[in-house]
Amino acid sequence: MVEIKYVPTICPYCGTGCGLNFVVKDGKIVGVEPLKRHPVNEGKVCPKGNFGYQFINREDRLTTPLIKENGEFREASWDEALDLVANKLKEVSDEDPNKVGFYACARSPNENIYITQKLARVACGTQNVDHCARICHGPTVAGLATTFGSGAMTNGFDSIKEADYIFCIGSNNMEAHPLFGRKLIQAKQNGAKLVVLDPRFTPTAKIADEYVQFETGTDVALMNAMIKVIIDKDLQDDEFIANRTKGFEEMKEVVQKYTLDMASEITGIKPEVIEHLAVEYASADKAAIVYSLGITEHSHGADNVMSTANLAMLTGNIGKQGTGVNPLRGQNNVQGACDMGALPSDYVGYRKVKDPETTAWFNDYYSGEGYEVNLPTTPGLTLVEMMNAAHAGDLKVLYIHGEDPVLSDADVQHTKEALANLEMLVVQECFLTDTAQCADVVLPAAGWGEQEGTFTSGERRVQCLHKAQEPPEGAWLDWKIMEEIAVRMGVPRPLFHYESAEEIFDEIRECAPIMAGMNRERLDTPEALHWPCPSEDDPCQPLMHKEKFAHPDGLGVFQALEHKGPVETVDDEYPLLLTTTRILFHYHAAMTRRCETLSNEVKTGFIEINTKDAEARGIINGEVVRAFSRRGEIAIPARVTDDIREGIVNIPMHFVECAANVLTNSDSFDPKSKMVELKACAIQVEKLDEVVEMKGEVYKDGTDTEIKAENMATTTVKVGK
C-alpha cells in the first residue's frame, strides 16, 4: 500500500519565508504544496517554491567523503576524512588561530550555522567566521545597526499593506521575492502608491504607479537631495527628530550642497522628478521604504542603507505599521546566519566581539571539563578579507559550509587563485559544486527536507523545519559532522554534544537574549515568532522601534553622508557599467539548475544591453557576444532591450558557463561593511568572430542546458578575437 504524508517546511530559496508542505510518498519527497494557512504566502507559491524541490533526490548527491590526491578525488571513509580535517585544523589553529577561517551557510538551518561558528570559536579559537551576507546584506547589518541600533527589517511583511506610499529602490521583488511582490500588489489594491526606482525597467517596475530610471550607484546623491527638499519645504517631523533622534544638524549641514540640479546631473533624474519624490514621500501619512541588493551591493552600500534610514527618521516614518525601512533579505536564512553569530564582529544575538565583558561571558560559557576557551576581543576577518588573506598566503585552512564562492564571489579568477593557495580547503556540501571541485576534502551533508531546525526570514520570523525523508546513505547531518570534528580536535564531548536540533536551539536561547523566549511549542505554529523575543510571555511582535530605537540611549542616529559613486568608472576602453541580478526561475544555481522544470525555463545566462548600445556594436538579439573587463572575459547570449538604461548592462549571476563574476571587481569594497561592488564594474561588449552554439553546464544526470540563436553556426563557441 502506498503511503502518502504531508510534512510542513519553509521554502529554501529567498528570505520571504513561505510555508510549504512536503508531499512524501513511501518515505521520499515527491512534491510540495503551499501551506494554505501560512501568514506569509497565504496558500500561494512562486515557481521556485513550486518546483524547487526537484534537486533533493538527484543522483549526483554526494554520499561519501572525498579526498583529493594528485589533483584527483578518491573516496574515503568518514573516519579518515574527519581525522584529516580535525588534525589539520588543530595543527594550524594551535600555531595561529588567525590562519584558519570558516564560511557558514545561509541556506542551512540556524542550528547548523550556530554550530559552524561554535566550531570556529571553541575548537579553533578564531573569530574568522563569516557568510554570504557580507556580499549581499552586510551593508544592511552595518548601516541599520549604526542608525537604528539593530541591523534588520523594522516592520513585518504584512505591514506594507497598510502603507499609503511605497518607495521601492533597488529591489525587484516580483522576481527575487515574488510572494512579497504579491503584498505590494495587495498594498496597491488598498490604495497605496508604489514608486519604483531602478536602472532597469524590471517586472516590479512594470506594476508600479511611477517608475524612475537612474544611474547605478547614485543613491546617496538622490536621497540627500530629497532630504534637502523636505527640509527646505519644512515637511520634516520636528517632534520625532527632537524626541527620538540625534545628529540631525550635522546631517542637515551636509545635504545643503545637494541641490536638485547637482543631484540631477549625478543621478540622471530630472530635478522636478526628484522634488516630486521628496514631497510625496514626506507628505504621505504612512510611507514605507523597500530596498534590496540594488542598494547594498556597492562600495558605498552601508551609506546607501543609512540614507534610507535618514529619510525615514526625518519624516517620522518608523515604529508604525505601514512605514519603516524594509530590506528584503536574499537567501532563505541569511537573516538567521547573522542572528547566529556567523559574523567576525558578532556572537549569536549580535553580542559584540569587541566588548570585553561579552567575550569574557562566551569564554566562560564555552569552557569546562578542563578545556579553556580564550577568544580575542578583536573582530576576525570578513569573507572578503579571508579570500584576500588566502591569496596572499596568510590563511592556511578554509572550511566552507554550503557556500559556493567560485560562482558567487566577485572576480572568479582571484577566488580560484586564493583557494588554490590554501594548504587545505574543506567543503561540506550536498553536491560537487564549483567550489567543492576545488576542495582538498569534501564532506557529504544532509540537505533541505532531511533535517530538523529553524529558518529566520527577512522579517525576523523564526520558523520550524521538519524532516521529511532520510538523507542518502553516507551523508551526515551538518551539525553532526562539525560536532565530530570538534571532539577529534580535543574539545571534550560534553561541551560539544547534542542529541537533536532542538537541543542546539535551547543553547542558542541561552546565548541570545533576543531569542530567549522562543521555546519549541511557541515556534512550531504557522505564525511562529519574530525576534526580539526576550521572554516566554513576550508577544514577539514584528514591529520594531515603536517607542525607542535599539541603541543604549534609545535614540536613532542621523548620518552625514556624501555621494561617492562606483569605484570603477567607465572609460573609452570599458564604456559600459555592468550590474548583476537574479531572475525568477533561479536562485542558488547548485539547487535550481538541478530542478528540471526551473532549468528548462531559463537554460543559460544572458547579458541585457540597451538597443542603442547594441546597434552601435552591430549586435542583434540572441547572438553570443564577448563581454570582458579588466579581470576576465566570457561568451554570453545578448538580450537587446529598452528595459535597461543606455550605458548599463546586466547579467544574471546564476550561470557558471557565463559567470558575471568573471568580470566583477574584488578590489572595490565598502570600508564600513566590506561589501564588494557587485552592482557596478566597467566592461566592454563586442561581437564574436565566430559562434555556433552556447551551452550551459551539463550536470551528471541532468538536461543539457543549451541555448541557440538564429545567427549561430554549428561549431563550438570561441571566446575572443
Residue 707 pLDDT class (50, 70, 90 cuts): very low
Please give the distance of CA 28 from its chain centroid, rounded to a whole number: 30
State pLDDT tens for residues 74-114: 999 999 999 999 999 999 999 999 999 999 999 999 999 99
DSSP 542: S
Q: What is the pLDDT of residues 18-35, one digit of tens each?
A: 999 999 999 999 999 999
pLDDT of the residue at 693: 58
User: For residue 640, what pLDDT band results from cuts at 50, 70 and 90?
Assistant: very high
pLDDT digits (tens, 9 = 90+) for 377-410: 999 999 999 999 999 999 999 999 999 999 888 8
- How far is Cα 36 from Cα 159, in angstroms, rounded to an integer? 20
What CATH number does the domain located at 138-327 have? 3.40.228.10
Name the band, by pLDDT with cuts 50, 70 and 90, for residue 251.
Answer: very high
Distance CA 412, CA 632 (A): 9
Q: Tell me the CATH architecture of domain 4-51.
A: Single Sheet (2.20)
Q: Left (φ > 0), alpha (ψ -120 to 50) or beta: where does 682 sit? A: beta
Residue 680 CB partners (closer than 8 Å, separation 6+): 216, 217, 298, 299, 566, 567, 568, 577, 578, 579
Residue 713 has pLDDT above 60, yes or no: no
Tell me the residue type at 191: G
What number of other Cβ atoms are within 10 A of residue 60's Cβ?
14
Domain 576-707, CATH number (from 1.20.140.10, 3.40.50.170, 3.20.20.70, 2.40.40.20):
2.40.40.20
Residue 672 confidence (pLDDT): 85
Q: Map grid coordinates 525597467 to a residue.
A: 201
pLDDT at 671: 86
According to DSSP, residue 715 is labeled S
**62 burial level (CB within 10 Å; 0-12, 13-18, 19+):** buried
pLDDT at 714: 25
Separation of alpha carbons 603 and 620, rounded Å: 20
Q: Domain ranges in the chain?
A: 4-51, 66-132+334-451+461-530, 138-327, 576-707
Q: What integer is the mean pLDDT of 168-184?
A: 96
- Count the Cβ atoms, other than its own, within 10 Å of residue 657: 16
Start-to-end CA distance of the chain, whole Å, equals 63
Whole-number Å distance between alpha carbons of 349 and 640: 46
If DSSP codes are grouped into helix, strand and coil, which group holds residue 598?
helix
**pLDDT (average), residues 705-715:** 29
Q: Please say if the pLDDT value at position 434 is more than 90.
A: yes
Cβ 611 vs Cβ 617: under 8 Å: no
Transcribe 65-116 into DSSP letters.
-EEEETTEEEE--HHHHHHHHHHHHHHHHHH-GGGEEEE--TTS-HHHHHHH
Q: Taking the complete model, does pTM exceed 0.75, yes or no?
A: yes
Q: Sign of the C-alpha dihedral, residues 103, 108, 181, 650?
A: positive
- Distance, CA of 262 to CA of 265 (rounded, Å): 5
Q: What are the cell numbers at 687?
A: 561581437
What is the share, in percent, of the chain residues with pLDDT greater than 70? 96
Q: Assign residue 475 a region (left: φ > 0; alpha: ψ between -120 and 50; beta: otherwise).
A: beta
Average pLDDT in the chain: 93
pLDDT of residue 218: 96
pLDDT digits (tens, 9 = 90+) for 298-314: 889 999 999 999 999 99
As its CATH architecture, domain 66-132+334-451+461-530 has 3-Layer(aba) Sandwich (3.40)
Strand 245-246 to 556-557 pairing? parallel
* Residue carrying the nine cell digits 577561517: 101
Taking residues 452-475, what's their average pLDDT? 97
Compute the distance between CA of residue 70 and CA of residue 50 in angstroms, rounded to an integer.
Answer: 42
Give the mean model confidence (pLDDT) for residues 459-485. Answer: 97
Q: Say how far apart CA 303 and CA 295 lie, in whole Å.
A: 9
pLDDT at 678: 85
Could you tell me which residues are beta bridge partners of residue 624? 637
pLDDT at 710: 29
Q: Between the CA of residue 412 and those of 123, 136, 265, 367, 409, what are the distances in Å?
A: 31, 17, 34, 40, 7
Mean per-residue pLDDT for 229-237? 98
Q: How do residues 196-209 score in pLDDT, each as one tens digit? A: 999 999 999 999 99
